[in-house]
Amino acid sequence: MSQRTVTIGSKVGLHARPAKLFTTAAAATGTKVLIAKNGGTPVDASSILRVMTLGAKFGEEVTLTAEGEGADAALDGLAEMLASDLDAVAE
């Protein structure tokens, strides 16, 4: 199982536009990706509602996990997204 811990870079956290961009990218990986905040219960990273219920704010850490072929590459790309200010990209 591959895992990455990343600090949320979006000033508004993982809410609305940043969550939409992230979940769309997670779904496009073709790999089941899970995301958890502060060691909490992991949720499906391709579900916007589940990701938004994490309440991940700017500067907080989340952990991404995935299994299978392409998991490392998928997590690298998703971690890079989360570390950036996705709200600025969405505008």
Residues 6+ apart with CB under 8 A from 38: 60, 61
What type of residue sits at position 18?
A: P
CA distance 43 to 53: 9
Kindly list the catalytic residues: 15
